[in-house]
Structure 1
């Protein structure tokens, strides 16, 4: 058979290492998707394009590789826009193969300005131009996604896709990328700040996770007596470290927030110090020296004042600082004392006191989350959707490392949680994936419940079901606003799960979780869905901060 351009695209991508891709098939992406399969890549079919791209996003975050998704032209692309925007704001390396209308098809129902659309949300638009450049065009799109850590949409016009390709796919060796080192002056200034500090705090963000900076940051913290914290996106990076205070920001426990606010030096490594991490700046002591380390100059000082801006990779900068400290024989206890250790141990969310509001018909979301934390295996991946409930799993359910938490909240969209969990489960089949959803988000992403069953994924889906869009209820209710438009009749998810082949259980009180414990102990294959009827009038601590940011 005559070889086509779509086959050259597929061969190029598999040569570059693409082994898994996600998508939903239409006529426009049928051939390129089949070609990818023929070249050895595994296709994960979703039930909606919005789910497909979110799966690819989560998969890329956990594997560190470029996620790949393929969709039909026109509506296939527009259906991905929320997930694409989330990936843009999360700086996920992602390649979206989007079919496009033929150049002459000016009256096609599918015709829109696809390049303008994807650029409007911050993604990069690339295009396969023809047989002479197809390999170069494909490599360029993949390379930009990897290097710039942004989603790239590679347009595949139908007339170009079906054009003959008589050349040969030949790709030169890909040069390695070396992490950026900080300047000597920046290291020296930071060293002076460390020498003067008595209570240093290290806050690690997504950039620290990507650069693999945990060991270097922990060694630096040990040398200067620092406490360790993370942004929400980096939750779990310092899991197991006795000086880890948890997430900085709205999800911080009262004890952790008090300690963070007492720091006289804040060193942010790969963390943007946005309003969520700093509680709109209130969590950082006005008198503290703030050092921000980032490999992107535009990130420095963008959200919060910075006294020392360090352009460099998080891990490399930590290693440079550690080398200088050791060379000058500088070491101190800082605030690594028995008193602080006691405060951290007693003040964590798992031990913080609260009034249990559970009843015979509804369970307190804090009680639910604590119980899950106790029964879930250590090796897990926790995924949270957006909504009023989302702080409870993030605060109360511990994760083993940064690979154990996926937080698709950069765009604050409700409804991405289930698809995120599917991508995570495919990326880390060695761990139990726990999807924490609200009832509203679960219903938004409901089409992918069948995908969980069809793929036989090992997953626990926990729905914090308050029969409402709880954030709006708790924010606008105190103003005396009518709430009928954000409240709904109780909906039972368990029978729905059973209908697609997933075990379902309804939880109204603590004893009902015994079914979950038995399922975990049996190490049963497949998934379980927990419809947890939570007390609707327990208000999350972080909610006021969230609405201040709107």
Structure 2
């Protein structure tokens, strides 16, 4: 068979679905073979950036590897922002990108694709020959899994038409087996835990599997420590006693009080970045123990007093064993804290707002309660985002997808499309700002229409680039350059084949449950929430 046919079969045989992409002359035949010969699920996006984001959203939701494909040159350069987002969020995906033939020196779309890809933080894997193509693809997938980042699989167009024999090549990367934890670092960590009187246990995205959760929960209860998570592990311990919710810049007031009074932090699968540490204030005066299953994740953010390399479940169980052997009593910290409510944000006070708008924080809380609860939650970036992290909920960490690791707005729609395609049958809810919607999300709204996705898009619309509006205001500069007179978004959603409504008053908000109940779940539904740019809380 042709190389492109062999690659398509490898994708199908290994369950690489959905495949998200935009076709061009260097990848169209591969996609066609994947769909027509193998019945593969292909999501055709409107922009190459959206294709990578969709693959990222699918990977975040499933915990597996996402798959995207584009052609060469400008198609690849369009992917750089999404690749950077996936790299910085440690999301494994493979981008099958076509490349111009090496002999075609004057091709208009010729570019040094390796340099473009590496500049984003993604990895590069070259398809070297027809005979090595299947092994090269397998290597790209294995690297994506083990390196936890996007890997671009570079396919010269001329090689795709060469002949090859199909043979299965393993894509699997074995997980770390249960291991024995020992050594000086373990001794020091156990000593710190034994001496702690107000310890806090923190879990990050690297510790959200069921085995790790159960072991960490047993450990926290044994030492009588409250439980917290990073933003990307939010709701891992929802409903458990002494759950603090998110540890960091979006902690509730009552959780922050407990955190600031703590004397020891034991972090599992968390990078301890500046968001988690609240610019260092949440680790100041504490002994810090960091546990990770990859050496490169230890000390990536704040540098801990003790770093331990191992699976979170194994380390937590080892801590338990030695604490029991030494008959170390619990700290007693949780006895001084309420069992429930530490992770619940305070009810915001209502404020007077200008005509034709609603109050941001109470509306945010009402939307969180009114929208379907069995959901996948996706958040874009913007000034509304920080307060939203503390309010919006999802069933579990895998159901909560963020797209702000690169600080870009307008990436949420692509991720929401990939997540919705990867898990059909339940609603996906995207929250974004009006600037992010117009910058990037609008491009892919019709993709969601074509795919008939059960998607609800909430747009917080203050007619501005909000973060810039605030900065200009703070410096007593007129914010006119940050203001925009956008078109009416609900009619725009309808024109693109979806549906929508506008929330410009509390009366509109009261009517929303009926409108949601009557919506056609095969059409994306947009909710345009009108806000006053002067009254959107950023912190």
- The answer as to whether partners of 2:17 and 2:67 remain within 8 angstroms in 1 is no
Taking the aligned partners of 1:357 and 1:458, their CA distance within structure 2 comes to 34
Q: Specify the SS of the correspondent of 2:419.
A: helix
Worse-superposed segment, 529-538 or 109-118: 529-538
1:245-394 to 2 correspondences below 5 Å? 245-284=244-283, 286-332=284-330, 334-337=332-335, 340-341=337-338, 345=341, 348-349=344-345, 351-394=346-389
Instruction: Describe the shift of the 1:505–1:346 C-alpha distance in structure 2 as closer, same or farther (beyond 3 A).
Output: same
Q: Does residue 397 in structure 1 map to residue 392 in structure 2? A: yes
1:460-499 to 2 correspondences below 5 Å? 460-499=456-495
Q: Please list every run of 5 or more consecutive structure 2 residues that lacks an aligned counterpart in the other structure.
A: none
Instruction: Describe the shift of the 1:180–1:512 C-alpha distance in structure 2 as closer, same or farther (beyond 3 A).
Output: same
Taking the aligned partners of 1:97 and 1:173, their CA distance within structure 2 comes to 15
Q: Specify the SS of the correspondent of 1:34.
A: helix
Q: Tell me how large the CA RMSD over aligned residues is.
A: 2.0
- The answer as to whether partners of 1:346 and 1:352 remain within 8 angstroms in 2 is no
Q: 1:427 aligns with which of 422, 427, 435?
A: 422
- The answer as to whether partners of 2:349 and 2:362 remain within 8 angstroms in 1 is no
- The answer as to whether partners of 1:203 and 1:229 remain within 8 angstroms in 2 is yes
Match of 1:546? none
Taking the aligned partners of 1:211 and 1:83, their CA distance within structure 2 comes to 29
Match of 1:223? 222
Match of 1:128? 127
Per-residue CA deviations over 1:130-163 (Å, capped at 9, x if unaligned) read: 1221121111111111122121101110111111
Instruction: Describe the shift of the 1:189–1:537 C-alpha distance in structure 2 as closer, same or farther (beyond 3 A).
Output: same
Q: Please list every run of 5 or more consecutive structure 1 residues that lacks an aligned counterpart in the other structure.
A: 543-550
Instruction: Describe the shift of the 1:303–1:19 C-alpha distance in structure 2 as closer, same or farther (beyond 3 A).
Output: closer
Deviation at 1:502, TM superposition (A): 1.9
Deviation at 1:329, TM superposition (A): 4.4
TM-score in terms of structure 1 length? 0.92
Match of 2:58? 59
Taking the aligned partners of 1:6 and 1:516, their CA distance within structure 2 comes to 49
Match of 1:108? 107
- The answer as to whether partners of 1:467 and 1:491 remain within 8 angstroms in 2 is no
Taking the aligned partners of 1:305 and 1:374, their CA distance within structure 2 comes to 39
Match of 1:199? 198
Worse-superposed segment, 470-479 or 91-100: 470-479
Instruction: Describe the shift of the 1:87–1:179 C-alpha distance in structure 2 as closer, same or farther (beyond 3 A).
Output: farther
- The answer as to whether partners of 2:205 and 2:233 remain within 8 angstroms in 1 is yes
Taking the aligned partners of 1:180 and 1:119, their CA distance within structure 2 comes to 34
Taking the aligned partners of 2:216 and 2:426, their CA distance within structure 1 comes to 26
Deviation at 1:359, TM superposition (A): 4.3
Match of 1:33? 31
Match of 2:168? 170
Match of 1:154? 153
Taking the aligned partners of 1:410 and 1:361, their CA distance within structure 2 comes to 33
Deviation at 1:239, TM superposition (A): 1.6
Taking the aligned partners of 2:171 and 2:371, their CA distance within structure 1 comes to 44
Per-residue CA deviations over 1:180-223 (Å, capped at 9, x if unaligned) read: 74631233322221111111111211111268522221111111
Match of 1:453? 449
Deviation at 1:392, TM superposition (A): 3.2
Instruction: Describe the shift of the 1:224–1:135 C-alpha distance in structure 2 as closer, same or farther (beyond 3 A).
Output: same
Deviation at 1:507, TM superposition (A): 0.4
Instruction: Describe the shift of the 1:358–1:242 C-alpha distance in structure 2 as closer, same or farther (beyond 3 A).
Output: farther
Deviation at 1:19, TM superposition (A): 3.1
Instruction: Describe the shift of the 1:130–1:230 C-alpha distance in structure 2 as closer, same or farther (beyond 3 A).
Output: same
Worse-superposed segment, 483-492 or 106-115: 483-492
Deviation at 1:283, TM superposition (A): 2.1
Match of 1:238? 237
Q: Specify the SS of the correspondent of 2:338.
A: helix
